[in-house]
Structure 1
Amino acid sequence: MKDVEFMKRRAAEEAVKLVKNGMIVGLGTGSTAAHAIRLLAKRNLDIICVATSKSSEELAKSLGLKVVDVNDVDYVDITIDGADEVDPQGNLIKGYGGALTREKIIAKMSKEEIIIVDETKLVTFLGQRGKLPIEVIPFGWKHTARELSKYGKASLRILGSEPYITDNGNYIIDLNVGRIEDPVEMESKLNSIPGVVENGLFIGLATVIIVAHSDLRVDIKRVKRSVDTVFDS
């Protein structure tokens, strides 16, 4: 049986094989995505990258990858990112690392959204791990949290003794949820609350799920994208 970091790296190894010369590559955020960034740098491909967080951008640049501003590209060929929950349909909860808004923007810009996880992130239903991150603006955040509390206990994320600040200068409210019966409806309701920037439900955005298991198996599953992207207009 292998440990979690080994599984994360194995999933990342399979994902970076899909990257080819000339591609625009989205770099995810988090410990699993960091494995992919390091492995990608070792391949010495002729690619340009866009990052979903300042930390991923800094890591990529330190390894010699070319990173450009997301506004300098019209689309992304392939994004490699992690997830905090993956259900049997390939729907996700993301945002434990705080980068959910930038991750969702780049996911919707991507022709291929490759999700890499270890087996511990597989769930039978979204909400199984009990937390749904919501990015909110600081102004009036307590009112926003009260509105969010209609759907579960809403807690301001704290780092040290101060509110956690996203790369966008916002706060994160962690919503204590149970089983999310209708993720599409929940996503719409959450994003209709004034002060909410984005939520951690990624419904129908993934195109490939790569799962590494402790018994050394790696499952690669293609899933049908069910949301409009920049390629559907």
Structure 2
Amino acid sequence: MSDLQKKNAGEAAAAYVEAGMVVGLGTGSTAAWFVKALAARNLPDLRCVPTSERTADLARELGLTLSTLEDTPRIDLTVDGADEIGPGLALIKGGGAALLREKLVWEASERCICIADAAKVVPALGTFPLPIEVVAFGHKTTANRIADVLADHDIPMPARVRQAERGLVRTDGGNLIYDAACKLIADPARLAADLKSLTGVVEHGLFLDLTDLAVIGTDAGFETINP
């Protein structure tokens, strides 16, 4: 019933949007439900900043007015999904390969709401592989440095480059994604800092201290979680 839960979460989050807001639109299957629900409300004077080209395509198709961070550097509210929601609303994001643009939009937002189905709430982060966005040039060398950092965090498995049927997955910005099978991230803040310090790493999927509210879809409706 996860599709129903995603739909319920997206529709519930759309109720937090008010006329005239600048709204950040997330990426992924749950975020798509939010975009559809937001368009259905037909609020006046909305401007929407999408976090990926596919979200932009959906929003445009539904008649939402699009903007960019350059034109609207201050965002009132961003609503986006997550791959895992841990204690304190720490998140793993990036399964949709849009983590850099997502984080740029999140950090430009006055308020961020995470939407998800109930299965995404976990006691500790790490079961979902951690996405790490890297520049394509010299990416294997960068991957070796990432492996050293992971080993220092008692994560023995090296990160693996993400592939699709047609080859390596590339982000909208042309970067590559490595996925780290962490299993358990004991110290998310330290791992985030260590990964970000590596030359060649553009961004990682740890979203820490950015979420103001989580809206969790259930079969009967939704629940909310505060940090």
Q: Shorter-chain TM-score: which interval?
A: over 0.9
CA offset at residue 180 of structure 1?
A: 0.8
- 1:16-73 residue CA offsets vs partner (Å, 9 max, x unmatched): 0000001000000000000000111111112000000000001000110000122101
Report the counterpart of residue 12 of structure 2 in structure 1: 14
- 1:146-177 residue CA offsets vs partner (Å, 9 max, x unmatched): 11112132101011141101001100011111
- 1:175-227 residue CA offsets vs partner (Å, 9 max, x unmatched): 1112111111100000111100000000010001011124x25211232xxxx
Gap regions ≥5 residues in structure 1: 224-233
Give the counterpart of 2:217 among 204, 212, 229.
Answer: 212
TM-score of the superposition, structure 1-length normalised?
0.92
* Runs of 4+ that moved beyond 3 A: none
SS class of match (1:29): coil
Report the counterpart of residue 153 of structure 2 in structure 1: none
Gap regions ≥5 residues in structure 2: 151-156
- 1:75-123 residue CA offsets vs partner (Å, 9 max, x unmatched): 1000110000001310000001000011001101111101000011011
- Cα distance in 2 for partners of 1:74, 1:198 equals 20
Report the counterpart of residue 168 of structure 2 in structure 1: 163
Is 2:217–2:223's contact at 8 Å kept on the other side of the alignment? yes
Report the counterpart of residue 143 of structure 1 in structure 2: 141
Report the counterpart of residue 226 of structure 2 in structure 1: 222
Report the counterpart of residue 60 of structure 1 in structure 2: 59
Report the counterpart of residue 231 of structure 1 in structure 2: none
SS class of match (1:219): strand
Please give the root-mean-square deviation of Cα atoms over the aligned residues, in Å.
1.0
- Cα distance in 2 for partners of 1:88, 1:199 equals 18
- Cα distance in 1 for partners of 2:63, 2:197 equals 41
Identical pairs, percent = 41
- Cα distance in 2 for partners of 1:212, 1:21 equals 24
1:178-193 correspondence runs (5 A): 178-193=183-198
- Cα distance in 2 for partners of 1:20, 1:221 equals 21
AA matched with 2:226: R
